[in-house]
Amino acid sequence: MTELSGSHVLVVGATGVLGAELSRQLAAHGAQLTLTGRSEEKLAQLADELGDAVVGQVAADLGRPTGPGDIAAAVYGRELHGMVFAAGVVAFGPAVEVDDDTLDELLLVNLLGYMRLVRDIAPRLARDSFIAQISAVVAESPTAGMAAYSVTKAGLSAYGKALTLELRRQGVRILDVRPPHTETGLAARPIAGSAPKLPQGKDPVAVAGRIVTAIREGERDLPSSAF
């Protein structure tokens, strides 16, 4: 069992629908939060909502060279007990038509930015801490019209599996989360292409609740079938 009350958790992607809901539920369990996202305005609104549960916030873009370092700097000097990675962008379209700028942004935000952040954050995590990385069902079932996005999410899952082995002695638990389509509005804000007609997605409040339960109960893998 992971005790969240009094713990310090970094939430990356806190300004998204799922990231914000995860922040609310972590705060409800007594966690102290450092919030990060691309929108300074949305961060301020969420921080106002959560009040004393927020101990830090920083607006940063994982897709920019300085982004991961800016996020890591925001938690220096305070013991860190967990990180939730809920940042991400999506793109649609045939694999052979995805342009270089789209490929670069998908890889930088969804995967490379996270890898660079973990490189800075992991050595500072306390013993018996956790990293919860939010991947997606496409990591299990790569999807036509979403090939590049699927690759970034599959890469995220693979990276988490390797981290599990590397950080075990440090006492850091990796939780790989692969939720099915969830009504976060992300599909309506692609960086390229247009979303196909999708079935009704999962409720983000319920998805966040399942993730927080997994964090608290010490789970290490949360496949799409767990939702």
Contact indicator for 183, 203 with CB cutoff of 8 Å = yes
Mean of pLDDT over the chain: 96
Token pair 């998204």 is found at 16
What was the pLDDT predicted at 199?
86
Q: What is the pLDDT of residues 52-80, one digit of tens each?
A: 999 999 999 999 999 999 999 999 989 99
Model pLDDT, residue 43: 97
Q: Is the pLDDT of residue 22 over 90?
A: yes
Q: How confident is the model at residue 197 (pLDDT cuts 50, 70, 90)?
A: confident
Residue 227 has pLDDT above 90, yes or no: yes
Sequence spans of domains, the chain: 8-226
Q: Model confidence at 1, in pLDDT bands (50, 70, 90)?
A: confident
Domain 8-226 has CATH 3.40.50.720: yes
Instruction: Output the pTM of the full model.
Output: 0.96
H-state helical runs in 6-146: 17-28, 40-50, 67-73, 100-107, 113-121
Task: Return the pLDDT at 214.
Answer: 98
The predicted pLDDT at position 181 comes to 95
Residue with structure tokens 């969830």? 182
- Residues with Cβ within 8 Å of 36's Cβ and at least 6 positions away in sequence, in order, are 10, 11, 12, 13, 14, 43, 57, 58, 59, 60, 71, 74
Mean pLDDT lowest among 24-38, 125-139, 190-204, 211-225? 190-204
Q: What is the pLDDT of residue 131?
A: 98
Q: How confident is the model at residue 9 (pLDDT cuts 50, 70, 90)?
A: very high
